[in-house]
Every structure is written in structure tokens, then in C-alpha cells.
Structure 1
Amino acid sequence: MTWTTRPRSDVNGLAVVTSGAGPRILLIHGVGLRAEAWNAQIADLSLHYEILAPDLPGHSASAALPGSAGLQDFGDCIAKLLDRPAVVVGHSMGAMIALDLANRYSGKVKGVVALNAIFKRSSAARAAVKERAAALDGKSVSDPAATLARWFGDAPSPERSACRDWLTSVDPPGYKAAYSVFAGEDGPDENALRTLSCPALFMTGSREENSTPEMSRAMAALVPSGKAMVVEDAAHMMPMTHPEEVNRALLAFAKRCQE
């Protein structure tokens, strides 16, 4: 898989990669990344579906939100792409947004997939992510070494190199705004999960230390039509590092949502 830049369309201030035709799947990436993080999914899923993959506000070519923006502001911005019903798939912070959309825009979300999503962080994890957010000055690009080590370990790979390029080219104010929201959230509200009306799939990797398998299983257990899945030997960037397993699960879930 290559991680080359794709052309974009402007939709109400969001830069969006579009591909394919058919029922719609909306892909929402995580903090510091861009639509190309979904390249492996766009390539496979667009053979059967219309794929929309926006850059988060303040990332790549998408306009930034105010620094005071919260999770629902990001969700309302992405919701501009729900002019017809879609299966919504999010990764990391994108999973937070996807679950928020499924709760607040239930009539437009046919199913939701949360990849590498957090839920009730430990006190140590909560302190660590808040410390990282506080260290961002919103002016300079942060050294991504520690982030890449959490995501990939020490081994070099094309995926690691692509993420390094994206993290070192991201807009500092946009990154700070998004990361501050990510650090301040602790996952979806339990009642929101219990009342989620659409099918939901929670996937993470067996080697994921921050968005753990236990978190995904706990969320799935609360959703009336929820399911958890763990990708063996995968960590945080499994849509890039384990695309075959992720794509197979997404295609099966999307088919279920069309029935």
C-alpha cells in the first residue's frame, strides 16, 4: 500500500476525498493524520460503496475550528457530510466523533464502527494524555518520536514514515485544538451507548495499550446491537498496518447495515 496524496473536494470548508459509488461510508481519521490514513480502506471499500474521507478540521486542507471547540463542534462540522444516511467509521479521535454522530444524528447513521477507541481511561493514562496536551504550544510542530513509538514501536515501515510526514506537516493550532479535545474526553457516556439505536462495532488491536481490548469489549456490552473485535498483533494504527483484517470486518459490517 502506498500513502500518496489523493485529490480532494471542498464541502462546506472540509477537504474531502471521495471515491466509488453506492451506499455511503464515512471515514473519520484521528488527531494529526489526514484522509490518506484510510488509503487501504478507500481502495477496497470503494469497489462496493461511496467513500467520503474528510480531513479533520485544522488538518491538511480543512479549515480549523476555534480553539475553544469541543467534541460536538467537530461532530457538527463532519455532520455536513451526512446529507444522506451512511455507515460512519472513526479511528481514535475519529471514533469519538463517529460515536457522537451516531448518538446525536441517529436518523442519518445506519451503523457505527469505532476503531481504537478509548473508554474510561485509567488515572495514569488520563494524566499522561493531559500532560501531552498541555505541552503543545499551538505554534511549533512537536517532535513526533514519542507518538510514533507508541503507535509503531521502533521498527521502520512505510506506515511509520507516512505518519511522521503527516505529524510534522500538521497545522500546530489545528493539532492543539483537536488534541486538547481528545485529551479532555474519556469516551462515550454509558447512557449514550445503552440508547444507541444502530448497529455498532468496536475494534482494536491486541497490542493496543491506550485503546485497549477491554475498553472495546466494555463499550460493545453496553450497546443493544454492539459487537467487539480484537485484531491480533495489531496496535494503534491497525487500519494502516492490518488493512486486510480491518477491511474484511468493515465490509461485513457495512453489508449487515444495508440489510
Structure 2
Amino acid sequence: MSRPPLVLLHGWGLTPAVWQPLRAQLDPAWPCTAPALPGHADDAPRPHAPSLAAWADALAAELPDHALVCGWSLGALLALDLARRHPAKVACLALIGASPCFVQRADWACAQPPAVVDGFRREFAVAPDKTQRRFVALQALGDTARREVTRQLTGALVPVTAASAPWLADGLDILAQVDLRESLAQVGCPVRLLHGAHDALMPAAAARAMADGLPDARYSEFADAGHAPFVARAADCARLLHSFADD
């Protein structure tokens, strides 16, 4: 049986170039597409509204059917929404550095404090480049290959321009507002979660809780990684994706 096509959805403030270390380890015969999130490239889709659902709908129009959709960070939230509302597009999900809810709530402590997220949003309005660098620093934090992760992520940053800035601001708003915890039971496809034990942006506890809430999920943790294990652990992540696709 052939593998489903692979779709890679990147995170906030970055371009699909962030996937280069992982793509270099994938079977070259495996059909793979890595679209840019809205506003994250000149040819990226333009949703009708600044919401997770609108972004997912815009991406769905460009994706193959019955794919293994692999989402990282904000891309993982989009992947979950695609699986829930566009099931014909998603045969299975791989979620890297994922959390169903980025901001702490009264019943959800394994997330970022609201004041920190609000600070990111305010800072982006006046110093967007600084906000991107802070995000990169958080994503590399805790990784034993911190310098390499920082280098790779910095090289894949979206240039902040008059055209991209509103979309990047919308992406931060989506991260701040979305809570998919109550929707996890609606995701009927198999899910594989890959997470760094020292993820400082989306704690591993959030991913473990998400795995418990999904009907069909398996969780793998990288003991020496932060938020972007697919960068310095590209070969290991590729091996897990190959195995998942071949199941």
C-alpha cells in the first residue's frame, strides 16, 4: 500500500523553509508539499477572515485529499481543525510541538501566561522583528542543539513588510484566542504526537494531555529537545513519520 501524500504546515512567523532539515531526511519518492500559512509568503492563500477556521479553509482548498498532515506549533492547530472540519483531506495527523490551547486558562495551566502572550501582541505592533527573535529564542530554549535550532529558525523567518505584518498579527491573535480542547474528541483519524521534553513555548504536559483527549493517538517525546525537534532531530522525526505513514 502506498503512503498518503505528506503535507507540512509550519509555525507562526516562519516560512516553509523551516522544514528543510526534515525534508532532507525524507524518502525523496514520498509526495510532499509544504504550503505557506496565510500571509507568510507572497503566494500564500488569503483567507476571508482572521480566524483559525478561515485559515484552515483557505489551506484546505490547496491540499491533496487523504494526506498525512504534519503540523508544527500554529500549524498543528490548523492541522487539528482540518481533521475536524475537512476529514476528506486528512487520513492521519502528525503534530509536532503542539498544544490545543496556547494561553493559560483557569483549568489549563500548561500554557503561556496571558500577560506574556499579550506582551507579544503589543510588542509586535511596534517592534515586529524583536518579537520574531523572542519567539525564536523561546523555540530554541531547552534544546541541546540550541545554537543550530536558532540558526535554522532565524534563517526561515518571514520578512515583516506592509503586506505580511497584518497577517502575522492575525496569527498571533489566533494563537491567543483558540482553545481546541473540547474539539479533540471530534478528530477521528490516527494521530502521532512528537514533542520535545523541554519545550518552553508549548509544554510537553499540554501535548500529553492532548494525546489523552484524542480518540486514537500515540505520543513520542525527545528528551533533549525543545519546541522544534524536527530541526536537530530531523532523522529521528523522519523515521517516525515514515513508520506512521506505513502503518
- Long gaps (5+) in structure 2: 106-110
After superposition, where does 1:140-179 map in structure 2 within 5 Å?
Answer: 141-143=128-130, 144-153=132-141, 157-167=147-157, 169-170=159-160, 171-179=164-172
Partner residue in 1 for 2:36: 55
Q: Output aligned runs, 1:214-229, within 5 Å.
A: 214-229=205-220
Q: 1:80 aligns with which of 35, 39, 61?
A: 61
Of 215, 237, 246, the match for 1:246: 237
TM-aligned CA deviation for residue 140 of structure 1: 5.7
Structure 1 contact 193–222 (Cα < 8 Å) conserved: yes
Unaligned runs of 5+ in 1: 1-20
Percent identical among aligned pairs is: 27
Instruction: Report the count of equivalent residues.
Output: 233
| Structure with greater strand percent | 1
| Alpha-carbon separation, structure 1, partners of 2:146 and 2:222 | 21
Q: Give me the TM-score of the superposition, normalised by structure 2.
A: 0.84
Give the one of 108, 129, 148 matched to 2:117. Answer: 129
Is the Cα–Cα contact under 8 Å of residues 9 and 35 in structure 2 kept in the other structure? yes
Deviation track 1:139-188 (CA, whole Å, cap 9, x = no partner) reads: 763213322321224987344234224336243222112122112223x2
Distance 1:159 1:210 in 2: 14
In the TM superposition, residue 89 of structure 1 has moved relative to its aligned partner by 0.5
Whether contact under 8 Å (1:130, 1:184) holds in the other structure is no
C-alpha separation in 1, matches of 2:77 and 2:178: 8
Matched-pair contact (CA < 8 Å) for 1:75–1:97 = yes
Distance 1:142 1:74 in 2: 23
Whose RCO is larger (CA < 8 A, sep 6+)?
A: 2
Distance 1:39 1:63 in 2: 18
CA distance in 2, matches of 1:36, 1:77: 20
Contact 1:90 1:113 in 2 (8 A): yes
Q: Is the 8 A contact 2:66 2:91 kept in 1?
A: yes
Residues 1-259 of structure 1 aligned to structure 2 (within 5 Å)? 23-63=4-44, 65=46, 68-120=49-101, 121-123=103-105, 125-127=112-114, 128-137=116-125, 141-143=128-130, 144-153=132-141, 157-167=147-157, 169-170=159-160, 171-186=164-179, 188-190=180-182, 192-256=183-247
What TM-score, normalized to structure 1? 0.80
- CA gap of 1:41–1:240, structure 2 versus 1, over 3 A, is same
Structure 2 letter corresponding to 1:91: W
Counterpart residue identity of residue 189, structure 1: R
Query: Does the 8 Å CA contact 1:96/1:117 hold for their aligned counterparts?
Result: yes
SS at match of 2:39: coil
